[in-house]
């Protein structure tokens, strides 16, 4: 059996900033909205996903991102 095997998934392979992570969350929510989750509270969804990912974000920041998504999806 080989000694140098990867037996578990790697996490945080590439360093990212908190801003990069927040942008990724916003992009994921925007994509989900385009897939038909239109009746979701966008700001609440962004805030929840940020919390789950350990990304600090205020409700005001989430609302600002949500407004941009809403503007993009029209």
Q: What is the pLDDT of residues 49-71, one digit of tens each?
A: 999 999 999 999 999 999 998 88
Look at the pTM and tell me if it is higher than 0.85. Answer: no
3-state SS string for the chain: CCCCCCCCCCCCCCCCCHHHHHHHHHHHHHHHHHCCCCCCCHHHHHHHHHHHHCCCCCHHHHHHHHHHHHHHCC
Q: What is the pLDDT of residues 26-53, one digit of tens each?
A: 999 999 888 886 668 999 999 999 999 9
């Amino acid at each position: 059996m080989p000694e140098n095997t990867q037996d578990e998934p790697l996490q945080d392979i590439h360093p990212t900033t908190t801003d990069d992570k927040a942008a990724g969350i916003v992009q994921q929510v925007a994509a989900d909205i385009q897939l038909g989750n239109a009746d979701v509270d966008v700001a609440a969804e962004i805030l929840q996903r940020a919390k789950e990912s350990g990304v600090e974000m205020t409700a005001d920041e989430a609302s600002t991102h949500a407004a941009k998504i809403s503007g993009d999806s029209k």
